[in-house]
Amino acid sequence: MEFLEKLKNVKDKFDKITEQLSDPVILADQSKLVNLSKERSELLELVKTYEEYSKLVAELKGAQEIIDTVDEKELVEIAEAELKKLKEKKIELEEKIKLLLIPKDPDDDKNVIVEIRAGTGGEEAGLFAADLYRMYSRFAELKGWKREVIDLSDTGLGGLKEVVFSLSGEGVYGDMKFESGVHRVQRVPQTEASGRVHTSAASVVVLPEAEDVEVEIDPNDLRIDVYRSGGAGGQNVNKVETAIRITHIPTGIVVQCQDERSQLKNRQKALKVLKARLYDMKISEQNSEIAAARKSMVKRGDRSDKIRTYNFPQNRVTDHRISLTLYNLSEIIEGKLFELIEKLKIADRTEKLNAAT
Residue 294 lies in a domain: no
In this predicted structure, what is the pLDDT of residue 301? 41
**Domain holding 233: CATH number?**
3.30.160.20
Q: Which class for 220: exposed (0-12), middle (13-18), buried (19 or more C-beta within 10 A)? A: exposed
**Domain finish residue from 263, 288, 313:** 288
Confidence (pLDDT) at 1: 55
DSSP symbols for 202-233: EEEEEEEPPPTTT----GGGEEEEEE---SS-
Report the CATH number at residue 39: 1.20.58
DSSP string over 4-62: HHHHHHHHHHHHHHHHHTT-HHHHT-HHHHHHHHHHHHHHHHHHHHHHHHHHHHHHHHH
If you average pLDDT over residues 285-310, what whole number do you get?
A: 59
| 316, β-bridge pairs | 311
pLDDT, residue 261, reads 74
Q: Is the same domain home to 224 and 159?
A: no
Note the pLDDT of residue 217: 87
- Residue 350's pLDDT is 82
pLDDT digits (tens, 9 = 90+) for 206-216: 999 887 656 88
Confidence at 174, pLDDT banded by 50, 70, 90: very high
Same domain, 81 and 123: no
- CA distances to 217, 246, 254, 279, 280 from 222, rounded to whole Å, are 8, 7, 10, 16, 18
Provide the residue range defining the domain that includes 246. Answer: 219-288
pLDDT(169) > 70: yes
What is the tally of structural domains in the chain?
A: 3
Over the stretch 19-70, which tens digit does the pLDDT of each residue have? Answer: 999 999 999 988 889 889 888 988 898 899 999 999 999 999 999 999 999 8
The verdict on 184 and 308 lying in the same domain is: yes
Q: Beta 306-311 vs 181-187: how paired, if at all?
A: parallel
Residue-averaged pLDDT of the chain: 85
Helix runs in the chain, H state only: 2-20, 24-27, 30-69, 73-100, 123-143, 172-176, 235-239, 263-290, 329-332, 338-356
Are residue 182 and residue 315 in the same domain, yes or no?
yes
Give 351's pLDDT tier (boundaries 50, 70, 90): confident
Indicate if 268 and 322 belong to the same structural domain: no
Final residue before a domain boundary, out of 288, 310, 333: 288
R_g of the chain, CA atoms, integer Å = 26
- Residue 107 domain-assigned? no
- Residue 105 domain-assigned? no
**What is the arithmetic mean of pLDDT over 190-217?**
82
Q: In what order do the strands lie in the sheet with 160-168?
A: 146-154, 160-168, 112-118, 198-208, 181-187, 306-311, 316-319, 324-326
If we measure between CA atoms, which residue out of 34, 198, 16 comes closest to residue 123?
198
Same domain, 206 and 304: yes
Q: Is the pLDDT of residue 300 over 60?
A: no
Asked whether residue 160 carries a pLDDT value surpassing 50, the answer given is yes
pLDDT per residue as tens digits for the range 311-325: 999 999 999 999 999
Distance of CA 158 to the CA centre of its chain: 27
Q: Cβ(240)–Cβ(150) under 8 Å?
A: no
303 in helix, strand or coil? coil
Q: Is the pLDDT of residue 292 over 70?
A: no
282 domain-assigned: yes
Select from 100, 126, 156 the last residue of a domain. Answer: 100
39/109 Cα distance (integer angstroms): 12
Q: What is the pLDDT of residues 227-282, one digit of tens each?
A: 876 644 333 444 457 889 999 999 999 998 887 678 888 888 888 899 888 888 88
Q: In 3D, which of 126, 118, 110, 225 has the Cα closest to residue 166?
A: 110
Cα–Cα nearest to 166, from 115, 213, 215, 123: 115
CB 221 within 8 A of CB 292: no
Residues 171 and 308 both lie in one domain? yes
181 and 151 in one domain? yes
Average pLDDT over residues 124-140: 96
